[in-house]
């Protein structure tokens, strides 16, 4: 499951508006950390094959400069959900700090909240719109 990696956009914006080499280097390192953490989150989320959508749920991920999540990710209730959700929270906090530190901005749009998860060919797919699959929500 792939998500938009907002730090890449942030780096491009800073390059356009100009920064010192030292700032870019530091920002690139921080952006790389965010990307690596997001990759870990995605790997954990996809570490179990999706066979029964009732064993899956979703959570928000990332933090847009205007506030709110960058998107959502499905994950199995059969993984170590505590570790997974800690990584998700760590990423959100780090993304928020990154956005503030570098004075980033975004379109301030709010991504739609999924209604649930379905399984297709072993992969968890977030459902948006009129479909209403049964899911278990984790508070």
CA distance 61 to 40: 12
Give the start-to-end residue ranges of the domains of the chain: 6-127
Higher pLDDT: 41 or 24? It is 41
CA distance 46 to 38: 12
Question: Partners of 116 in the beta sheet?
Answer: 127
CA distance 139 to 2: 23
Band of the pLDDT at 70, cuts 50, 70, 90? very high
The values of phi and psi at residue 57, to 5°, are -145, -165
Q: What pLDDT was estimated at residue 131?
A: 56
Band of the pLDDT at 106, cuts 50, 70, 90? confident
Band of the pLDDT at 12, cuts 50, 70, 90? very low
- Is the pLDDT at 10 greater than 70, yes or no? no
- Joined together, the tokens standing for residue 92 give 């959100």
The residue with tokens 């959570």 is 59
């Amino acid at each position: 499951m792939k998500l938009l990696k907002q730090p890449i956009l942030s780096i491009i914006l800073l390059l356009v508006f100009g920064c010192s080499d030292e700032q870019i280097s530091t920002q690139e390192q921080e952006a790389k950390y965010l990307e690596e953490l997001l990759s870990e989150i995605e790997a954990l989320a996809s570490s179990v094959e999706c066979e029964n959508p009732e064993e899956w749920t979703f959570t928000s991920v990332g933090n847009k400069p205007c506030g709110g999540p960058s998107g959502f990710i499905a994950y199995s209730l059969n993984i170590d959900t505590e570790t997974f959700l800690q990584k998700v929270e760590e990423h959100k906090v780090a993304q928020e700090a990154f956005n503030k530190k570098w004075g980033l901005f975004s379109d301030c749009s709010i991504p739609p909240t999924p209604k649930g998860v379905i399984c297709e060919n072993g992969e968890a797919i977030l459902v948006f719109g009129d479909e209403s699959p049964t899911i278990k929500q984790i508070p």
